[in-house]
Amino acid sequence: MRWPQRVAAMLLTAVLLVGPPILLVRLVGWPTTDTPRVALWQWVRDPLTEQNLTLMLVVAAWALWAFIAYLVTATTATRLWAGVRWLRHLPLPTPWQATATGIAGAAALTITTPTTPTAETDHPAAATGTSNTHHHDDTAHADSADGIAVPGGWLPRDIADQVTAAAGLIWIRRRRTYRPNPAPQATRADSDLTPLPATVTAIQAATAADPAPTPVEPQPLAVLPSGLHPEGAVLAGPGALAAARGLLVTVLLAAPRHHTPQLVITRRAAEKLLGPAAHHLQPGPDLRIADHNEHAATLLPPPAPTEQRPGKPQALLITETPPTGPLADALTAGTTTPIILTPWPAAPTWHVDTEGHTHNPRDMSTTGPRVCVLDPTAAADLLTITGHLPPPPPSSNPAPQPRVPHQTSTHRAPEDTITPLQVRVLGEPALLINGTPLRLRRSAAQQALVFLAVHPNGTDSRHIAEALWPGMPAHRLTGRLYTTLSELRTATRTITHGTLIDRTDDRYRLNPTLVQVDLWQFHAAVEHATTTLTAPRAAWQAVVDAYTADLAHGRTWPWLDPHRETIRRTVLDAYAALAAAEPDPKRALAHLQDGLRVDPYNADLHQRTVATLHTLGEHTAATDLADRYHRRLAAVGIDDARIPSGNNLS
Where are the chain's structural domains? 3-87, 145-213+222-400
Q: Please check the confidence at residue 120 and state whether its pLDDT lies above 80.
A: no
28: confidence class by pLDDT, cuts 50, 70, 90: low
Q: Which of 27-36, 216-225, 514-523 has the highest mean pLDDT?
A: 514-523
Phi, psi angle pair for 57, to nearest 5°: -65, -40
Give the distance from CA 383 to its chain's centroid. Answer: 18
Q: Could you give the count of Cα atoms lying within 13 Å of 417 in the half-sphere of its Cβ? A: 6
d(CA 644, CA 650): 8
Average pLDDT value for the chain: 80
Q: Please check the confidence at residue 397 and state whether its pLDDT lies above 60.
A: no
* Contact present, 253 and 166 (Cβ < 8 Å): yes
Res 591: pLDDT: 97
Give the distance from CA 505 to its chain's centroid. Answer: 28
d(CA 479, CA 140): 13
E strands, 533-602, in order: none
Alpha helix positions (H), 469-559: 477-493, 518-531, 536-546
23: confidence class by pLDDT, cuts 50, 70, 90: confident
Partners of 338 in beta bridges: 317
220: confidence class by pLDDT, cuts 50, 70, 90: low
Q: For the chain, how many helices (H) and strands (E)? A: 20, 19
Res 146: pLDDT: 80
Q: How many residues does the chain have?
A: 650
Q: Which of 404-418, 468-482, 595-609, 626-640 has the highest mean pLDDT?
A: 595-609
Determine the average pLDDT of the residues in 373-390. 95
107: confidence class by pLDDT, cuts 50, 70, 90: very low
Res 70: pLDDT: 82
d(CA 144, CA 79): 33
pLDDT in tens, 448-476: 999 999 999 999 999 999 999 998 887 78
Q: Please check the confidence at residue 612 and state whether its pLDDT lies above 50.
A: yes
* Contact present, 427 and 553 (Cβ < 8 Å): yes
Res 638: pLDDT: 85
572: confidence class by pLDDT, cuts 50, 70, 90: very high
310: confidence class by pLDDT, cuts 50, 70, 90: low
End-to-end CA distance of the chain: 67
**Amino acid occupying residue 498:** G
Sign of torsion over alpha carbons 574, 635, 287, 148? negative
d(CA 559, CA 102): 45
Torsional class of 552: left (φ above 0), alpha (ψ -120 to 50), beta (otherwise): left
d(CA 157, CA 257): 16
Q: Please check the confidence at residue 241 and state whether its pLDDT lies above 50.
A: yes
By the 10 Å C-beta count (0-12 exposed, 13-18 middle, 19+ buried), 396 is classed as exposed
Counting residues of the chain whose pLDDT is more than 70, the rounded percentage is 76
Partners of 317 in beta bridges: 264, 338
pLDDT in tens, 515-537: 999 999 999 999 999 998 888 99
Q: 283-297 b/e with 16+ CB inside 10 Å = b?
A: eeebbbbbeebebbb
Lowest mean pLDDT among 183-197, 301-315, 381-395, 525-539: 301-315
d(CA 177, CA 604): 7
